[in-house]
Amino acid sequence: MELTVNGKKRRLECRTAFQVREKLGSPEDIVILNGFQIDEDCELSNGDTLTLIQKGVMPDAEELESMMMARHSPNVHNKIKKGKVAIAGLGGLGSNIAVMLARIGVGQLLLVDFDVVEPSNLNRQCYYVRHLGMAKTDALKEQIKEINPFIKVQTKTVKITEDNVKELFECYDIVCEAFDKPDQKSMLVNTALNELPDCKIVAASGMAGYESSNLIKTTKPMNRLYVCGDLKNGAKVGNGLMAPRVQICAGHQANMILRLLLGIEDC
Amino acid sequence: MKVNGITKKLEKEQSLYDFLVTEQYDLNRIAVERNGEIVPKAAYKTVLLQDEDKLEIVQFVGGG
């Protein structure tokens, strides 16, 4: 039977997943069959994808990629790998979204922010003490390399204005608006919708404080615009930004981006 | 006219700009779609609203 085992096509005379493990691996190996980790033996069909992972061992690069992607259904993975997503702003939303998109294997990411990591970022943004003073673009690129070295990450350490939106983002399918200031959000959404006729925008509005998680939603108010958040709770004196709701909102944005990459347009 | 799905009566002929100002929108924090098309900010004063118009107005609040 034709199987893909750890990224390589093989012809094997095995009927079940555990027979393959017996032949090629050891009894403690984790077995992932078509994206799902199995604990009980399963019959195999022609064309199945099987991944055997030896715990505690560093695999070589080629094998590592197939092991990392083993958790994605094969067709889903191929679509995501072709995805090109730009993230505008690398604060609480953008840094967490970038890491999620890297984990699912989005093929090309553009990370844009002009700022450096400072202590007040650590309450919600995906950086460490060792990154203080570093450009957010560089700090995030460094982390992504350690999470998924198999995707292309480009960075631009510039301030985004009306004048450079088109130039920065015209090669990307999806622009993720992850700014902090409402006038900046409005500037990016307006400019991108006007100047980039094919691109979809996934923006955020309203995630401050610690009101109910369930108020945060994904909406599609316009043709090519998605907005995630509770649409109400802005950051202000007495209502700061905190990791949980910011990350819930980042999760909404990342999932909407994933859906768009898979061709699903409703939220 | 429909604004974010809610019917609004247009009392007199007015520009999009005048409508937004009367309704107290902060023009620096919004995006407006009219009949499925984004309206460039520079055109707010020249767009005259009609009874059959459908407006979607997104207002952004801070935080990220």
Which residues from chain B sit within 8 angstroms of residue A234, using beta carbons? 61-63
Distance from CA of A265 to the nearest CA of B (A): 16
Which residue of chain B comes nearest to A209, CA vs CA?
B63
Predicted local distance difference test score (pLDDT) of residue B56: 97
- Where does residue A231 fall: left (phi above 0), alpha (psi -120 to 50 degrees), or beta otherwise? left
**CATH 3.10.20.30-classified regions of chain A:** 2-72
Residue B45 to residues A157, B19, B21, B24, Cα–Cα distance (Å): 35, 10, 11, 15
Which residues from chain A sit within 8 angstroms of residue B63, using beta carbons? 92, 180, 204-208, 233-235, 241, 246
Strand order in the sheet with A84-88: A152-156, A108-112, A84-88, A174-177, A200-204, A225-229, A217-222
- CB spacing of A233 vs B58 below 8 angstroms: no
Predicted local distance difference test score (pLDDT) of residue A69: 78
Tokens for A79? Answer: 């679509």
Average pLDDT, chain A: 95
Which residue of chain A comes nearest to B64, CA vs CA?
A180
CATH of domain A2-72: 3.10.20.30
Q: Assign A201 a pLDDT band (cuts: 50, 70, 90).
A: very high
Residue A118 has pLDDT above 80, yes or no: yes
Predicted local distance difference test score (pLDDT) of residue A75: 77
Strand locations in B1-64 (E) = 2-3, 6-7, 30-34, 37-38, 54-59
Query: CA-CA distance, A23 to A19, in Å (whole number)?
Result: 6
Q: What is the pTM of this model?
A: 0.92
Phi and psi dihedrals of A112, rounded to 5? Answer: -125, 125
Q: What's the whole-number mean pLDDT along residues A19-43?
A: 93
Q: Assign A144 a pLDDT band (cuts: 50, 70, 90).
A: very high
Residue A157 has pLDDT above 80, yes or no: yes
pLDDT in tens, A219-248: 999 999 999 999 999 999 999 999 999 999
Q: Is the ipTM above a cut-off of 0.90?
A: yes
pLDDT in tens, B10-36: 888 999 999 999 999 999 999 999 999
**CATH 3.40.50.720-classified regions of chain A:** 78-261
Of B29, B41, B56, Cβ closest to residue A221: B56
Q: Assign A148 a pLDDT band (cuts: 50, 70, 90).
A: very high
Which residue of chain B comes nearest to A92, CA vs CA?
B64
Predicted local distance difference test score (pLDDT) of residue A10: 93
Give the homologous superfamily in CATH for domain A78-261. Answer: NAD(P)-binding Rossmann-like Domain (3.40.50.720)
Q: What's the whole-number mean pLDDT along residues A178-200?
A: 97
Distance from CA of A15 to the nearest CA of B (A): 51
- CB spacing of B62 vs A180 below 8 angstroms: yes
Q: What's the whole-number mean pLDDT along residues B55-64?
A: 97
CB pairs A-B closer than 8 Å: 87
Which residues from chain A sit within 8 angstroms of residue B60, using beta carbons? 182, 185-186, 189, 203, 205
Q: For A70-79, A160-169, A248-257, B20-29, which range has the lowest pLDDT when averaged over its residues? A: A70-79
Which residue of chain A comes nearest to B57, CA vs CA?
A221
- CB spacing of A182 vs B64 below 8 angstroms: no
